[in-house]
Amino acid sequence: MTKQIRQLDRVVIRFAGDSGDGMQLTGDRFTSETAQLGNDISTLPNFPAEIRAPAGTLPGVSSFQVHFADYDILTPGDAPNVLVAMNPAALKANLADLPRGADIIVNTDEFTRRNLAKVGYESSPLDDDSLAGYVVHPVALTSMTVGALAELAVSKKDAERAKNMFALGLLSWMYSRPYESTLRFLERKFAARPELVAANVAAFRAGWNFGETTDSFSVRYEVKPAKMLPGTYRNITGNAALSLGLVAAGVRSGLPVFLGAYPITPASDILHELSKHKRFGVITMQAEDEIAAVGAALGASYGGSLGVTTTSGPGVALKSETISLAVALELPLVIVDVQRAGPSTGMPTKTEQADLNMALHGRHGEAPVAVIAPKSPSDCFHAALEAARIALTYRTPVILLSDNYVANGSEPWLLPDVESLPDLRVEFATEPNGEDGTTFLPYLRDPETLARPWAIPGTPGLEHRIGGLEKADKTGDISYDPANHDFMVRTRATRIETIPVPDVEVEDPDGDARVLVLGWGSTYGPIGAACRALRQRGLSIAQAHLRHLAPMPANLGEVLRSYDRVVIPEMNLGQLAHVIRAKYLVDAIGYNQVRGLPFTSAELETTLEEVLKNV
């Protein structure tokens, strides 16, 4: 049968099913195939916090959205063009996100009376007119998979589990994806059980062949590769990129990297990834709790390593006392906070930007630290390097504010030239620095950076006192002198405030915009897509994005005063907006959302258009 082939410039697909249906694996494999083809991609995994929510229920729905195109894209897409629904719960949970005319591929085997009742369907939406506005493709995914594996030595349960590979094969055929890497992946994943390799490969091929032969799908689609800078690319998640950035920081500094971590969603993948890189001098320790993890990391820094600790919001709260100790000791320490929805346990697998206030101010006493935030999954690599550079150069804790959207999302990453990465080598103190030539002054500062010497314990002649009690200037002796305390507090603050960071860059193509959209962290993609759409409609708008949140760029005040209106979209209740108003006396307009999901570019476009009308 000859199928029509139609060219598309972009597609958004969402795989959705029960949390035991393998939707994350399916989406990840489709993304990998798409990356191999050379499309630009952006993904949004969305899954329950529970290890195993009740099967077939709305709380148990897991989804994976992938947006791919033949041009540069910035977001995982506002709405799916295609929904793969493995059961009634997946359909009901995601139907409201679909535009009219979208394709829905439905696993009809799961639309039983019992499963329909679990999610409140009185009758099957496949049998009434409720889906009349969509293009519905009923496919008996489960029974067809079981039938395809009937002659293989696998149980019925294992055969049913392979239905996600049938779906992957069908979608790979529909969108002309390469599949060789998926077959190799299955061979590696199930290497210890050859029967499962055979079952999953057979299910994938059955899905592919079904698309090729059935009358249900008369059109096959192609999305050409995107035009990208020349070089070697790989598909990467934010957590993986951040991990490799820390590895690179260790190599470029010549220091061992020590990670002290306690598992917590959504930061645990950094511990998993770094544990694979012992050959690069990376040491990982899974501590018994968050306090022990940061204490070990700070101890590693004291001993001459690059100390790192990873966590999410609840863990930062527990680590705050030790972070304050690192401020007093003036030692390098990188604290990675992969933000999630709070407060307290909140929604562990959902995204939010609500830890900014805690990062800036969440310690007792005057305890300033540097704060930076990556804007995208691949940018996590460079943000990790920058965090390490600041920590090592200025002998300070640095908080790196990632979030769940960036951490688990993925995109193509252009592998950098290693020699182009910053030189992070440090010089340890090796001899006395006092005027008498025999005394070591642990708080005698570098006049340019205000950093104190870093002396490895056990270095002869460099014995010095450490601890949380206030230190006397230069000597490091315990001091309760009021004037000395005032001096040390102000010096520690000045050291952070005077860290040179790059100027904020403004994207204002026409140079006549009156409205500036200011963002930080993961809002970069939705803001950029919204501004791009407005400019394509002939409206003039400027965009700027902050990576450095403490200290802020030196030119930021001048930039803010250059526009009539400043809009700050945030996934919180206005934390950056409050800082901007207080520091620069600019009446910033906050656009805030705390739904556990990233902004869509369409809603931002509508909001920004209203601001433009009222300027």
Quick one: average pLDDT of 134-152?
Answer: 96
Quick one: average pLDDT of 152-157?
Answer: 93
Quick one: average pLDDT of 263-291?
Answer: 98
Name the pLDDT band for 35 (thresholds 50, 70, 90): very high
What's the pLDDT tens digit per position in 317-373?
999 999 999 999 999 999 999 999 999 999 999 999 999 999 999 999 999 999 999
* Predicted pLDDT at 465: 84
Structure tokens at 435: 């005027």
State the Cα–Cα distance between residues 271 and 391, nearest whole angstrom.
20
Structure tokens at 141: 């995914």
Give the closest residue to 86 by CA, choosing from 8, 42, 12, 25.
25
Collapsing DSSP states into helix, strand and coil, what is residue 49? coil
Alpha carbon 436 to its chain's center: 52
State the Cα–Cα distance between residues 531 and 519, nearest whole angstrom.
12
Quick one: average pLDDT of 526-531?
Answer: 98
Q: On the CB side of 93, how many CA atoms lie within 13 Å of its CA?
A: 27
* Predicted pLDDT at 1: 60
State the Cα–Cα distance between residues 47 and 62, nearest whole angstrom.
4
State the Cα–Cα distance between residues 120 and 456, nearest whole angstrom.
65
Residue pair 531/608 in contact (Cβ under 8 Å)? The answer is: yes
Structure tokens at 49: 């916090």
Weakest mean pLDDT among 43-52, 318-327, 381-390, 413-422: 43-52
Residues 498-528 as b/e (b if ≥16 CB within 10 A, e otherwise) read ebebeebebbbeeeebebbbbbbbbbbbbbb
Percentage with pLDDT > 90 across the chain: 96
Quick one: average pLDDT of 466-471?
Answer: 94
Q: Is the pLDDT of residue 3 over 90?
A: no
Spell out the residues 6+ positions from residue 613 whose beta carbon is closer than 8 angstroms to its own. Answer: none
Q: Is the pLDDT of residue 545 over 70?
A: yes
Quick one: average pLDDT of 301-330?
Answer: 98
Residue pair 167/86 in contact (Cβ under 8 Å)? The answer is: yes
- Sheet of 40-46: strand order equals 40-46, 61-69, 10-18, 82-85, 103-107, 135-139
Q: Is the pLDDT of residue 125 over 70?
A: yes
What's the pLDDT tens digit per position in 591-615?
999 999 999 999 999 999 999 999 8
Name the pLDDT band for 53 (thresholds 50, 70, 90): confident
Give the closest residue to 25 by CA, choosing from 167, 202, 193, 125.
167
Quick one: average pLDDT of 222-233?
Answer: 94
